[in-house]
């Protein structure tokens, strides 16, 4: 397994590899868990060479967010990726990715105005910018993203389509703990009591899936079910519960064919997101 820290070395190696092989990229911010490793395994199925980037991207964090305390453990991450037979880790530092006079950003309009974009102003500009840079550096044929970050996934898909990037974006279903909690690096922030409260998020998703299967299509009714469940325990502060168009993220009044139910809330100091796709059988 190679560990590459510079843009120039990664680009040169990718140029050489692309002559005979397909490259798949899995972008991460490190502190890997089973959800990330599932993306790596999917990447292994797609290409000859798997590159995992590990970079805590400073420009996607707001001034009051957790950049400084975001969990990091490169040695642990490298050991996990070694077991998965990952070919390359791209591990740049912030100065390598954003040299002194950096001033170019990528903005995907409209999609960033919904859901997490309302409270995390500028977040998706940071996401789109770093992903565009990673695509230019690693030059993958495929890139794998988790569907837990649904808004991020469709923003990247839109960017790739709009800018005619020759990359296929692969979405991977959310990986969950045995008790249903969506895997996230931020789960490590939760106390045992907070983690127990967090289970209400996935339970509320399941409840709405059940109601949808039974024929309920009114989004106000479905949202109230989620809110009532989340309010069963104190200390869960709901940021949003939205039922949206799966392509535009615009809120729906009635579900016609399919929708995404997206939830964001804070439990203690930890912000958690989750979602499910509701679709006609």
Q: Which residues are catalytic?
A: 36
Nearest to 204 by CA among 224, 188, 189, 218: 224
* 51 and 13 Cβ atoms separated by less than 8 Å: no
* 154 and 247 Cβ atoms separated by less than 8 Å: yes
Q: Who's near 125: CB < 8 A, 6+ residues apart?
A: 59, 60, 105, 106, 107, 112
Q: How far apart are CA 213 and CA 219, in angstroms?
A: 14
* 11 and 134 Cβ atoms separated by less than 8 Å: no
C-alpha separations of 275 from 96, 98, 101, 213, 215 in Å: 34, 32, 38, 16, 19
* 125 and 105 Cβ atoms separated by less than 8 Å: yes
């Amino acid at each position: 397994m190679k560990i590459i820290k510079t843009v120039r070395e990664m680009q040169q190696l990718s140029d050489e590899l692309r002559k005979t092989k397909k490259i798949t990229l899995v972008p991460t911010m490190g502190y890997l868990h089973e959800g990330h490793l599932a993306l790596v395994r999917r990447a292994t199925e797609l290409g000859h060479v798997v590159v995992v980037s590990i970079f805590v991207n400073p420009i996607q964090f707001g001034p009051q967010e957790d950049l400084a305390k975001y969990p990091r453990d490169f040695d642990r991450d490298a050991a996990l990726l070694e077991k998965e037979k990952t070919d390359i880790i791209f591990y740049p530092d912030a100065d390598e990715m954003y040299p002194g006079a950096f001033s170019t950003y990528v903005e995907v309009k409209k999609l960033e105005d919904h859901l997490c974009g309302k409270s995390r102003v500028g977040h998706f500009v940071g996401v789109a910018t770093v992903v565009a840079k990673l695509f230019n550096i690693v030059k993958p044929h495929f890139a794998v993203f988790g569907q837990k970050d649904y808004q991020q996934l469709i923003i990247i898909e839109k960017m790739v389509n709009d800018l005619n990037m020759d990359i296929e974006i692969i979405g991977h279903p959310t990986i969950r703990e045995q008790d249903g909690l969506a895997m996230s690096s931020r789960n490590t922030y939760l106390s045992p009591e907070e983690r127990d409260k967090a289970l209400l998020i996935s339970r509320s998703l399941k409840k709405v899936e059940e109601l949808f299967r039974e024929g309920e299509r009114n989004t106000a009714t479905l949202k109230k079910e989620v809110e009532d469940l989340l309010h069963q325990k104190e200390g869960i502060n709901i940021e949003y519960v939205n039922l949206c168009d799966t392509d535009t993220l615009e809120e729906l009044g009635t579900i016609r064919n399919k929708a995404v139910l997206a939830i964001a809330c804070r439990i203690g100091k930890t912000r958690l997101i989750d979602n499910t796709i509701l679709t006609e059988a």
